[in-house]
Amino acid sequence: MKALICGVGGQDGAYLSRLLLDKGYEVIGASRDAMASTFFNLKRLDIRDKVVTTSMAITDFRSVIQTLDKYQPDEVYNLAGQSSVGLSFEQPVETMESIAIGTLNMLEAIRFYGKPIRFYSAGSSECFGDTGATPASEETPFRPRSPYAVAKATAHNLVANYREAYSLYACTGILFNHESPLRPERFVTQKIVRTAARIASGDKGKLEMGNINIQRDWGWAPEYVEAMWKMLQLDQPQDFVIATGRTVSLEFFIEHAFRFFGLDYKDHLAVNPNFFRPTDIHFGASDPSKANDLLGWRAQVKIETVIENMCMAARSLVQAPSP
């Protein structure tokens, strides 16, 4: 089996590459500019020399179809595109193009290519907006509250349309938040653990945050890529919510991260109004029962362990002492 991973340099792309290599796949990793990319995450997982890398611009239809023709993959995982909710408010056009137009190019290229390819598209729980106390399932209407979420909702609908109109094997994984030490620091969870590690090692800075009362469902990224693979092994393509089913607050995450380093977060936290978003999701809850039942997939790593794993990696990075 041969798999093409678009956006191989990111957190999910790296973990998915490792998973597929372990299953005996030939893995081709696509990046906008493979010559310039360091593929740091692949190196961290010690698989850089096992992944064939190639340049492909997902917003360029010709680039996409040439890549399909050159490598002739059996499976395509589209994990590419602008990935920051916060940045999408500053760069809405680039966000829409890289996510929605990029997905459309992939679908159209697969349709033109004419050979059987199974296509996975990275969706997002951000599409649901604020769920309130009712956990979101595959049947929950979308109410996106950011340019990023609007783009992801558009991509989701495109995948469904191509599946129904052209009988493509195409599906979307509606993934709730999932973290790991491979997250870049522009993501809030990594910012928290890295800041805590630096303070524990003697840094006098503060953790500057926006709204710490928001609540999310956070899982462990290496588990979530297995769900992606499982989705492409079904007889018929279906969309799935992938999540733990447990929601905690951002304050919970901060408290546990600082406690790992023997610190009281209240002594090091500063609320910065500049980090508040124009619109935000206050509560995100999930119902992953369909994935549990039909995929046989269930999140095993609890949020406390996710935080601990990230903190251990951050401590090693900044050489912070144990409490």
E strand residue ranges, the chain: 2-6, 26-31, 52-55, 75-78, 118-122, 169-175, 178-179, 207-209, 215-216, 219-220, 240-242, 248-249, 269-271
Q: Give me the residues paired with residue 206 across strands.
A: none
Active-site residue flag, 63: no
Name the active-site residue from 31, 88, 124, 180.
Answer: 124
Q: Give me the residues paired with residue 173 across strands.
A: 122, 240
Active-site residue flag, 55: no
Query: How many CB atoms are located within 10 Å of the residue 99 CB?
Result: 30
Nearest-angstrom CA–CA distance, 82 and 158: 18
Name the active-site residue from 15, 25, 120, 148.
Answer: 148
Name the active-site residue from 75, 126, 179, 223.
Answer: 126
Give Cα 52 to chain centroid, integer Å: 22
**Coil, strand, or helix at residue 302?**
coil
Active-site residue flag, 289: no
Residues forming the active site: 124, 126, 148
